[in-house]
Chains A and B, each alone.
Chain A
């Protein structure tokens, strides 16, 4: 799963709507792709990104985006680094944790398991 996808995800519980992101990422296995920079695509993704989430994970993959993210959205060097992080970096194994309810979701083979258990669904609807 790309950092891009991870960045746009949130906790599965209804009770966490609006506050179940960015999920905290623990990545134990990752993969780096070598796809060429796509300016149009990355510019189109920018309004959908959660910058707190981007700031939190960039150092994990040794990507330096600088301090002033919002001021660099037209800077090509910045956009190239951002592309490297969100499009060319994949999480293969790890864990996502909801910042609101602390529910943990595991990632195996690049697939996050976002399914809730029956009792969680029941509890979620009740609350």
Chain B
């Protein structure tokens, strides 16, 4: 892991990880505990700290926020936490939604609102206004039926190739993001990331004209080695 600092034109930037000591291992039976993919996620955000700050996002969203670790980290990274941005988080699991609220309270983040919903259901009117969208999907390949189990299974069960939940969101991404928006997603090799890229390409994510930026994070769940982490423009 990094030492939580990154050099920017404003000098050395540092972001503390959110405090998570309000949860015990018992709590993590009900929602996803920050794991290697979560740390990879915040490392990627830290690496992009400079461009995220200069993009100056007004509305940031995490879909499937679980414990709230990642979105609270982003709020810290983009600070100061003073009413100049809105952070939103959704989770289909009510216990995860409550966990995200508790993590925001523990970290004194007053500008994070949490909605118990599926993807961005009920937030459709905000389509095209999300400047940052974070998604650590349920990417583990499972039987299709496992997706419907609910509870903590919703945090990992991804169906065939681990792609069934991911593929529901992909067509929505171009409509959800604002013109300057960044979309971050975790993928593993089993998800066929090259195919995900080509799908995003057909949705008009032409990074060369820089309409939107798409950071694809690949990690291999099997042996936990990071295969690649790349920004496509």
Contact = CB atoms under 8 A, between A and B. Distances in A.
Interface in A11-39: 11-12, 17, 21, 33, 35-38
Given A10-B122, A113-B94, A36 B114 contact: no
A105 B122 CA distance: 11
A114 B119 CA distance: 11
A4 interface: yes
B121 A114 contact: yes
Contact of A110 (B92, B113, B123, B129): B113
A110 B125 CA distance: 20
Contacts of A4: 86
A109 B100 CA distance: 11
A43 B128 CA distance: 17
Interface residues of B, number: 27
Contacts, number: 86
A33 B101 CA distance: 16
A48 B126 contact: yes
Nearest to B83: A35
Contact of A41 (B84, B98, B125, B126): B84
- The DSSP consensus for interface residues of chain A is loop
A31 B23 CA distance: 24
Contacts of B88: 5
B82 A1 contact: no
Contacts of A73: none
Contacts of B113: 1-2, 5, 110
Contacts of A112: 115-116, 122
Given A8-B126, A35-B110, A41-B58, A115 B117 contact: yes
B179 to A, nearest CB: 14
Interface in B103-162: 110-111, 113-118, 121-126, 129
Given A33-B110, A38-B84, A114 B124 contact: no
Interface of A: 1-2, 4-5, 8-12, 17, 21, 33, 35-38, 40-41, 44-45, 48, 50, 83, 87-88, 90, 105, 109-116
Interface of B: 58, 82-86, 88, 92, 94, 97-98, 101, 110-111, 113-118, 121-126, 129
